[in-house]
């Protein structure tokens, strides 16, 4: 591992993005014999897996450039229920037992291709008045999330066996797949949340070229 480098990491489920950064920092600091400078270029939710770009040393100055790149995700959307956080970690509520047809699912997905408006989830790392939105939400405070314009370059239906829709989606930076899942559920009238999420590409960077976080364990 170089002091000034770009690392591709496959984040496991259950680990925070900041946990990944901390693990790489400990490993690199151990190698260098001094505290290493390490940063990320965009977080993944704890339940999510997949590609993170980690920058070290002088490459940290380019973090903003990497964070603006488009991304590809594979996701599973559960119909008929909603989650307070939009993912498996929230409070799950039964909404509907309506079972949309394949044609109805395909039609719903087609409505989200192109430039769309999204309201990011309150349980996100976006800063509101200098504080992380999720920290405010956990305190029970009312959080007003600003609407943003994002682009869905492509949205492919991989599989549909009720209640689960599996998709592959290519999106612009700043797109929330949890929000996309919830909005698809609203269009179908069933409610929905994201049960699985994996980031497979960031621009031309691929998960196939990444290392497991276990390779950065320190002993």
d(CA 98, CA 130): 41
The one catalytic residue among 45, 159, 204, 209: 45
* 45 counts as catalytic: yes
Instruction: Provide the annotated active-site residues.
Output: 45
């Amino acid at each position: 591992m170089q002091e000034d480098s770009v690392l591709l990491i496959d984040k496991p489920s259950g680990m925070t993005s900041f946990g990944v950064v901390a693990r790489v920092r400990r490993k690199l600091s151990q190698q260098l014999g001094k505290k290493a400078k390490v940063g990320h270029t965009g977080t993944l939710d704890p339940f999510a897996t997949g590609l993170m770009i980690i920058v070290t040393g002088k490459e940290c100055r380019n973090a903003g450039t990497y964070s603006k790149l488009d991304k590809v995700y594979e996701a599973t959307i559960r119909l008929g229920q909603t989650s307070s956080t939009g993912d498996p970690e929230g409070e799950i509520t039964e909404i509907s037992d309506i079972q949309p047809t394949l044609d109805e699912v395909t039609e719903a997905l087609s409505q989200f291709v192109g430039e769309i408006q999204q309201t990011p989830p309150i349980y996100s790392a976006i800063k509101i008045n200098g504080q992380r939105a999720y920290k405010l939400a956990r305190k029970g405070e009312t959080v007003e999330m600003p609407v943003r314009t994002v682009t869905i370059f492509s949205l492919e239906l991989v599989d549909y066996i009720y209640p689960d829709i599996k998709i592959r989606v290519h999106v612009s930076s700043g797109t929330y797949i949890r929000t996309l899942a919830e909005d698809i559920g609203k269009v179908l009238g069933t409610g929905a949340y994201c049960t699985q999420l994996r980031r497979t590409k960031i621009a031309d960077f691929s998960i196939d070229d990444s290392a497991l976080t276990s390779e950065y364990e320190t002993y």
